[in-house]
Amino acid sequence: MKSHTNKIAKLLHMEFDVDTHINNISSYKVSFFQKLVLCRGLKFSLPKDAPSEEIQASFEKAYWKVERTLLPDLKEFTAANLRAIALNYIECKAPKPPKALQRAVQQLKRRSDIVITKPDMGSGVVIMDRADYVRLLHDASIKDTSKFIPVSKERPK
The pLDDT tens digits for 88-113 are: 888 877 777 788 888 998 999 999 99
Q: Name the pTM for this structure.
A: 0.57
d(CA 57, CA 67): 15
The pLDDT tens digits for 39-75 are: 888 887 777 777 888 888 888 898 888 888 888 888 8
Question: β-pairing, 22-24 with 125-129?
Answer: parallel
d(CA 36, CA 31): 9
Q: Kindly give the residue spans of alpha helices, DSSP state H, lying in 52-129.
A: 52-67, 72-91, 99-110
Mean confidence (pLDDT) of the chain? 83
pLDDT of residue 116: 92
Widest distance between CA atoms in the chain: 74
Q: Is the pLDDT of residue 156 over 90?
A: no
